[in-house]
Structure 1
Amino acid sequence: MQAPVVFVNTGATRETGRQAQISNITAAKAVADIVRTCLGPKAMLKMLLDPVGGIVMTNDGHAILREIEVTHPAAKSMIELSRAQDEEVGDGTTSVIILAGEILAQTFPYLERKIHPVVIISALKKALEDAIQVVHEISRKVDTENDEELLQIIGSSIGTKYISKWSEHMTKLALKAVRTVATNEPRVESTQRAPHSAKSVSIDIKHYIRVEKITGGDVTDSEVLDGVMLNKDITHPKMRRFITNPRVLLLDCPLEYKKGESQTDIEITNEKDWARILSIEEEQVEQMCKEIVKFKPDVVITEKGVSDLAQHHLMKANITVLRRVRKMDNNRIARATGATVVSRVDEIKEADIGTRCGVFKVETIGDEYYSFLVECKDPGACTVLLRGASKDILSEIERNLQDAMAVARNVLLEPYMSPGGGATEMAVSVKLASKAKEIEGVEQWPYMAVVQGMEVIPRTLVQNCGGNPLRQVTSLRAKHAEGLHTYGIDGDSGEIVDMATFGIWEPEAVKLQSIKTAIESSTLLLRVDDIVSAKRRDGEGKQAEGAPPMQMGGMGGMPGGMPVME
């Protein structure tokens, strides 16, 4: 909707009051429409062109929105929702965008009726509290020791993804990887539920699970290594390439002569002084090597460089060296082997040596050398080795596997499941519709915005598989009105099925996060009543006019745009 341009003294374009809110709703709806067809098993793919001409084809909502370039501040805010959802629970990134866009669209008529945004926001917050209560009521507890049940839950999360054809293999990989990095360390317990067990569990899949992609081989050759794999070769050809039960030393300092700073000035008057300077360098490197050899490590891994002289001394001591390892990988090795990363060689202690690794080996896969520290006892960190036909396929498999691991993590931390296939959203919609009748005054209308907005998920699932959305959503609403809360939409056929027998369940944490994020972001955008765009510098371009439209990189765009605030 085109809004009038108001010029203020600063020379800026400005939208105020209802125009600003309508502009925000329009932008949010446009972002939601981009990913609407990416929901469910029959999801369509988006083809994204990156700036260097590469092509990405995916139906992952977060991956799509990450690549899109927008200029409208409300559209940017919507894209941040997807990122926040991915950071928090790792799944439901498409659902949260569709939900937020629909709830905002449903509030549009009430703004036109001149209901104050504060009244609408108050009703939305009340609806959020009631929705959370409904989700708790229809969820069921999961036995985290029952692998068969967990694999079924993880499998339902990747049923809409590319890797669904290898679903059984991938779900086992995801569960094994997450269980490997689970540790009994303190964590902040969720306020949504009471702790499900006496011991608190910490699962950091971002830092301690490394996905290594190697082209070639079959997807079913993918495996979870009980340790760490590095794309590194040994620094000296005569060093050992296979060691059983190695003693591992980790460093984050260079094993080479430390040169002076740039202001260092040495004046040499005779040849002996030059020879002495060179010998001092050699003595320092030799001393560093002696400090290391003293603790008899079998493998030394450092984040920095290793000089030729240091390699020579360590090779004579029968020590294998890897250099220039990334800090994240070093931390992963530390957790897997029980070693401590040391900053100075003269501070090494016996307790810093890692002894939990079973085998160190260097192997050639394709044209690359890979070092393995595997067969670790209680590793706490792992590497998922993915094989596939091409880089594009491997990238898509990795994105899907990350979602599967996030689902496994959520279930192990909060073992409660909600019915999938739009059943949870329809249950919330029907329950809130009955509660809306108890609300007195004008708040009842905007409260219904959430009721109508929640139906967008089952409706979209039916639309995406070519069904009749009006008939199916009406029938589903009737089922839920009878109290059958587990009935939802089969994303393949568009038919109404019982999710309890169909076996489609989703982590309650994902559903709660989606609803919270969608409603809270809607209230945030409704609270905005002024959009000011600063004037471009040096007379660059003409003043932006009207509502700032979106620009979508790689998917065509619309002319114009809102300049960045300066």
Structure 2
Amino acid sequence: MASLRQRLTIRIFSGSRPPRRRAMAPLARRERAAILVGSIPAWPGMVRAAMRRMPVIMEEETARFCQSRQSRCGAVWTAEHCFACHCTGMDTREPFRRHWIFVNVWPKSVVDVENEVQMKEIVNSCIGTKFSNRWNDKMVEMALQAVLTVARSKTPGSGTKSGQTMEVDIKRYAKVEKIPGGEIADSVVLKGVMFNKDTTHSKMRRRIENPRILLLDCPLEYKKGESQTNVEITNTDDWNTMLRMEEEYVENMCMEIIAFQPDIVITEKGVSDLAQHYLAKANITAFRRLRKTDNNRIARATGATIVSRTDEIQESDIGNGCGLFHMDKIGDEWFCFLDECKDPKACTIVLRGGSKDVLNEIERNLHDAMEVVRNVVYDPKLLPGGGATEMAVAMGIRRAGLKVEGVQQRPFLAVGEAMEVIPRTLAQNCGVSVIRTVTQLRAKHAAAYDEWEKNSKESGVVPPASDFGINGTTGVLVSMEELGIWEPFSVKVQTIKTAIESACMILRIDDIVSGSKKSQR
């Protein structure tokens, strides 16, 4: 069970700053502090109260505390670094002094993102109360399919955090197209890209199997000068010469494209009438003025490379990953589909609905579901919901505070109280007795903590913590694993980061200077 354990580290910085104004002297005499809590949720109001009561933690006591503990990995917690646990130790540099507490919680084992049943349970707990709960299965299936299509392995040097092997960018590569009409059940996730464009010429093909796709970032028309130019024409031959030069320029660009025999040409700029003629004559379908974002998604889905000049086209720039190209008319508009891609790393989600308001609401619900899947794929670890994680952390912090004497217990108790805000709020929303429910939940986690301390000291084996939480419907204490209520681990991390950073920012304010504009008489 040791592999299921996740250490959560609470960093507590304390220090003092001289007052800038006489009015700030009482606050400066107390120790100004900042608490940085890693991977556990807290709320700014309670944390600020804890910060104001934070005493000075002496360096000698910190070093003695760290060196007196043995880590589970067999290394000694020193004042510098534990390389086996990847925990940074004490930093005695002024003006801050650092004190460490180690709290153990047990997240669910690493989630298998390929396990569709398990992933559906996770997402269902997120959108079960949304507007689209009637089509839960459809929304969950679409969210899973879209995120897993976009996800790809991390490339070296990509800048992602160590230990995270997946890159998931649903904002850029998973686009939602809302088309009024039809039913919500008609919504689908395409293994490719769809965009709202018609062909530039009416005689161009509208259905191609296994097309060769060329993407351009240049106009297929005569290049205009950068500055205004005046040309004086004295006879008809000069006029014909200029027209012939423009035609030859466009013809050369088209011949450079035709030499590679693409089936589809897509450019972000314009296509002249003459270029349309040459391309249609060569049986090539062309699209113009496509968005840059759509062009990037097509390149990622089909394996094509965007080219900036026609004379720089290479065979490797042609995309062969699309299985089927077809044009469909939905309502009064034509839509282009690049579907059945072999290994698409971009997708389009087509939403259908009776009205724009319904489509907007479905889009918001689908976005929430996709974010949940994205968080799990990005960091496949889960924690029990229903206030179980918060109560477990609160219990660990309180027990750690009992080992500290004097006023130094106050921040421990304050942060522990802040952790219980979530289970207390859940009980209050259910209409049950808040005091009785929270007390029972605290007792269950206390028993699990006692068992953990006993077993860890005797055999070094860490048993799973209590996963009991509050059922949001009935208010009864139940096992979150049996109920299937889980929360992504990365969400907890981001929650506490945001809360603590906000609290630290507020506490660093020494004074507020406000000014008002003088009223004009």
TM range (shorter): 0.7 to 0.9
String of CA shifts for 1:322-350, please: whole Å, max 9, x gaps: 11111111111011111100001111111
**SS across alignment from 2:104:** helix
Are the equivalent residues in 1 in contact too, given 2:47–2:415 (CA < 8 A)? no
| CA displacement 1:374-422 (0-9 Å, x = unmatched) | 0110111111111222222222222222222222222223221100122
Deviation (angstroms), 1:455: 1.6
Partner residue of 2:46 out of 91, 103, 116: 103
Answer yes or no: is the 8 Å Cα contact 1:465–1:491 preserved in 2: yes
2:283 aligned partner, one-letter code: N
CA distance in 1 between partners of 2:307 and 2:358 (Å) = 39
User: Against the structure 1 CA distance between its residues 172 and 447, is the aligned structure 2 distance closer, same or farther, given a 3 Å change threshold?
Assistant: same
- When residues 344 and 177 of structure 1 are mapped into structure 2, their CA distance, relative to the original with a 3 A threshold, is same
Match among 192, 198, 202 for residue 233 of structure 1: 198
316-325 or 137-146, larger mean C-alpha shift: 137-146
Q: Specify the alignment match of 2:104 in structure 1.
A: 134
**Counterpart residue number, 2:118:** 149
Residues 220-272 of structure 1, C-alpha deviations (whole Å, 9 max, x = no match): 22111111011111111111111111110000111111111233232233333
Q: Is the 8 A contact 1:150 1:408 kept in 2?
A: yes
Aligned match for 2:471, one of 490, 503, 507: 490
Asked if the contact 1:15–1:531 (Cα under 8 Å) also holds between the matched residues in 2, the reply is no
Deviation, 1:441, is 4.2
One-letter amino acid matched to 2:242: I
Aligned mate of 1:242, from 207, 216, 230: 207
Q: Which has the higher contact order (CA 8 A, sep 6+)?
A: 1
Q: Give the stretch that moved more between structures: 145-154 or 246-255.
A: 145-154
Equivalent in the alignment of 2:247:
282
Deviates more, 1:261-270 or 1:308-317: 261-270
Matches within 5 A, 1:193-342: 200-342=165-307
Deviations 1:145-172 (A, max 9, x none): 3221121112212224322332222111
Distance in 1 between the 2:300 and 2:383 partners? 34
Equivalence map 1:527-538=2 (5 Å): 527-536=508-517
Q: In the superposition, relative to structure 1, how do residues 427 and 128 fare at CA in structure 2: closer, same or farther (>3 Å)?
A: farther
2:400 to 432, 435, 446: 435
**Equivalent position SS for 1:224:** strand
The separation in 2 between residues aligned to 1:128 and 1:463, in whole angstroms, is 35
1:371 to 336, 346, 371: 336
- For the structure 1 residues 19 and 246, does the alpha-carbon distance in structure 2 shift closer, same or farther, using more than 3 Å as the test? farther
* Structure 2: distance between partners of 1:247 and 1:376: 12
Q: Which amino acid aligns with 1:169?
A: K
TM-score by length of 2: 0.76
Q: Secondary structure at the match of 2:367?
A: helix
Partner of 2:434: 469
> Match for 1:490: what amino acid?
N
The aligned residue for residue 318 of structure 2 is: 353
| Distance in 2, Cα, partners of 1:176 & 1:130 | 41
Deviations 1:259-291 (A, max 9, x none): 112332322333332332222222211211111
In structure 2, relative to structure 1, the CA distance for the partners of 1:278 and 1:462 (3 Å cut) is farther
1:255–1:285 Cα contact (<8 Å) kept = yes
State whether structure 2 residue 362 is matched by structure 1 residue 419: no
Is contact 2:48–2:503 with CA below 8 Å preserved after alignment? no
**Structure 2 Cα separation of the partners of residues 116 and 185 of structure 1:** 41
Is 1:380 aligned to residue 380 of structure 2?
no
Range with greater deviation from structure 2 (429-438 or 268-277) = 268-277
The within-5 A match list for 1:111-130 is: 111=52, 115=53, 130=101
RMSD: 3.1
* TM-score, scaled relative to structure 1: 0.71
Give, in whole Å, the separation in 2 of the partners of 1:230 and 1:106.
Answer: 53
Distance 1:117 1:441, change over 3 A: closer
- Quote the residue 1:74 is aligned against: none
Cα separation, partners in 2 of 1:452 and 1:317, compared to 1, 3 Å: same
Q: In the TM superposition, what is the alpha-carbon distance from 1:488 to its structure 2 partner? A: 1.4
1:502-532, Cα deviation, whole Å (9 max, x unpaired): 0011121211221232223222321221222
Letter in 2 for 1:505: W
1:513 and 2:494 are equivalent in the alignment? yes
Distance, in Å, in 2 between the alignment partners of 1:117 and 1:443 is: 6
Cα distance in structure 2, aligned partners of 1:467 and 1:389: 40
Distance in 1 of aligned mates of 2:56 and 2:520: 37
> Percent of aligned pairs with the same residue?
54
Rg larger for? 2
One-letter amino acid matched to 1:332 = R
Conserved? CA contact 1:20–1:531, under 8 Å: no
Query: CA offset at residue 105 of structure 1?
Result: 5.8
Matches within 5 A, 1:439-458: 439-458=404-423
Relative to structure 1, is the Cα distance of residues 221 and 434 closer, same or farther in structure 2, using a 3 angstrom cutoff? same
Over 3 Å counting, the alpha-carbon distance change for 1:374 and 1:309 in structure 2 is: same
How far has the Cα of 1:295 moved from its partner? 0.9
C-alpha distance in structure 2 between counterparts of 1:525 and 1:421, whole Å: 30
* AA at the equivalent of 1:370: F
The DSSP-based 3-state class of the residue aligned with 1:530 is coil
Change over 3 Å in CA distance of 1:310–1:414 after alignment to 2: same
Matches within 5 A, 1:541-560: none
- Tell me which moved more, 164-173 or 246-255: 164-173
Conserved 8 A contact 1:100-1:521 = no
Query: Cα distance 1:236–1:530, how it changes in 2: closer, same or farther (>3 A)?
Result: same
Check whether the contact 1:128–1:519 (CA below 8 A) recurs between aligned residues. Answer: no
Paired AA for residue 142 in structure 1: V
Mark the CA change 1:508 to 1:126 in structure 2 (over 3 Å): closer, same or farther: farther
Q: Is the 8 A contact 1:16 1:529 kept in 2?
A: no
Q: How many residues were matched structurally?
A: 436
Whole-angstrom distance in 1 between the partners of 2:146 and 2:314: 31
- The answer to whether the 8 Å contact 1:18/1:529 transfers is no
Cα 1:257–1:463, aligned 2, differ >3 Å: closer, same or farther? Answer: farther
Q: Residue 501 of structure 1 corresponds to which residue in structure 2?
A: 482
CA offsets 1:474-515 (integer angstroms, 9 cap, x no match): 332222222262111222333322101000111212112212
**What runs of 5+ residues in structure 2 fail to find an aligned partner?**
1-20, 29-38, 63-95, 449-464
Supply the distance in 2 between the matched residues of 1:327 and 1:317 (Cα, whole angstroms).
26
Q: 1:375 to 1:257 in 2, by over 3 A?
A: same
Does the C-alpha gap of structure 1 residues 129 and 210 become closer, same or farther in structure 2, counting only changes over 3 Å?
farther
Q: 1:141–1:417: 8 Å Cα contact kept in structure 2?
A: yes
1:172 aligned partner: 141
Letter in 2 for 1:511: K
Asked if structure 2 preserves the Cα contact closer than 8 Å seen for 1:138 and 1:485, the reply is no
Contact 2:192 2:301 in 1 (8 A): yes
CA offsets per residue over residues 359-387 of structure 1, 9 Å max, x none? 11110112221100001101111111112
Work out whether residues 198 and 335 of structure 2, in 8 Å CA contact, stay in contact via their aligned partners in 1: yes
Using the TM superposition, give the Cα deviation of residue 130 of structure 1 relative to its aligned residue in structure 2, in angstroms: 4.7
Partners of 1:129 and 1:212 in 2: CA distance:
49
Distance across 1 between alignment mates of 2:280 and 2:23: 72
Give the whole-Å Cα distance in 1 for the aligned partners of 2:99 and 2:469. 21
Q: What secondary structure, in the 3-state scheme, does the structure 2 residue paired with 1:220 have?
A: helix
The 1:159/1:534 distance shift into structure 2, 3 A limit, reads same
